[in-house]
Amino acid sequence: MSPVIMTEIVLPSHANALGTIFGGVVMGWIDISAAIAAQRYARSPVVTVSIDYLHFIVPIKVGYTVVVKAQISYVGRTSMEIEVNVQAENSITGETHPATKAYLTFVAVDEKGAPKQVPPFIPKTAEDKARRLKAEKRRKERLKIFHG
């Protein structure tokens, strides 16, 4: 499954008084690119049900290019986990830095907003199988936290 890649430039309207981007702007881009990846996979409307920890690693300055890459990392019965990696790029020097990484869970829904089944993903390669195992572990932890 090919990733969704969103490329944006940080404008003054995205920034705080320090001239670096607001976290909420990056969060919006993460949510949108992950939703597109989930929707393309499910061929259905989807809703965000959970966003795991978000850590902002480096400040992203006005004028920088932000590259948001969203890829399906796990497929359940009605839910999908999307891994999103955000890179901050100084397009003048070509320098890039990992800026944020997040896992989001989306659920495919019908016209009444009820969960509906998505096409199953059967991992075939060793890499896909290893990725699924890791994702299953995250899913278990996530649901444990949610259900208390």
Ligand X SMILES: CC(C)(COP(=O)(O)OP(=O)(O)OC[C@H]1O[C@@H](n2cnc3c(N)ncnc32)[C@H](O)[C@@H]1OP(=O)(O)O)[C@@H](O)C(=O)NCCC(=O)NCCS
State the minimum distance, in angstroms, from the CB of residue 40 to ligand X: 16
Interface residues for ligand X in 13-42 (CB under 6 A)? Answer: none
Name which of 97 and 101 has its Cβ closer to ligand X: 101
Q: Judged by CB under 6 A, does residue 76 bind ligand X?
A: yes
- The 3-state DSSP class for residue 118 equals coil
Pick from 109, 116, 131, 132 the residue near ligand X by CB under 6 A. 109
Pick from 79, 82, 99, 103 the residue near ligand X by CB under 6 A. 79
Interface residues for ligand X in 111-140 (CB under 6 A)? Answer: 113, 115
What the block records as the tokens of 17 is: 């008084």
Position of tokens 């019965």? 77
What the block records as the tokens of 62 is: 């006005």
Q: Which residue pairs from 83-88 have beta carbons closer than 8 angstroms and sit at least 24 positions apart in sequence? A: 84/30, 84/33, 84/34, 86/26, 86/29, 86/30, 88/58, 88/60, 88/64
Residues that bind ligand X (CB under 6 A): 47-50, 76-79, 105, 107, 109, 113, 115, 142-143, 146
